Structure 1
Amino acid sequence: MGEAKRRKEALGDKYGKEPYIFPWLPLTKTQAKRFVKWTTRGAWVGIGILVVTWVTVLFIGPALGWWNVAR
């Protein structure tokens, strides 16, 4: 009997399914990697928006005369 058959018999219904990271947390390793990927991308988008807003307020706003209106 081959190793795959032994493993299939030992695992039963769980054979071929990805295990959870923690037994009490229904989150697989693939789902965790996807979550990290999307949150990292979202953080970079947020940083980009912050930089664009900062440049607009610091340089473009005063050049258009909005700085005098606020004072």
Structure 2
Amino acid sequence: MPKRSDSAGWRTLAVLLNAGVTFHSGCCDGPGWRPRSPREVRERLAAAAGTGVPLSVALTTVDVDELRSWRHTAR
């Protein structure tokens, strides 16, 4: 959870929650990677634009290039 004064962190968290991203830990590995800044959110949304990848998947994908490659295969 972001610090109370971290407005960028709270905006990022709001985007994640609105997209349906959860933070439940499955086991020992925890919930997985999540973006921590608005810049990381924007990168993933831009890379996933037009691919048909659900927002929750785009926002939890570590490698932005992986999202861009889906654009070429998701036809």
Instruction: Tell whether the structures are fold-level matches, with TM greater than 0.5.
Output: no
Q: Where on the TM-score scale, by shorter chain, does this alignment land: which range?
A: under 0.3
**Greater helix share, structure number:** 1
TM-score (norm. length: structure 2): 0.26
**Greater strand share, structure number:** 1
Structure with greater contact order relative to length (CA < 8 Å, sep ≥ 6)? 2
TM-score (norm. length: structure 1): 0.27
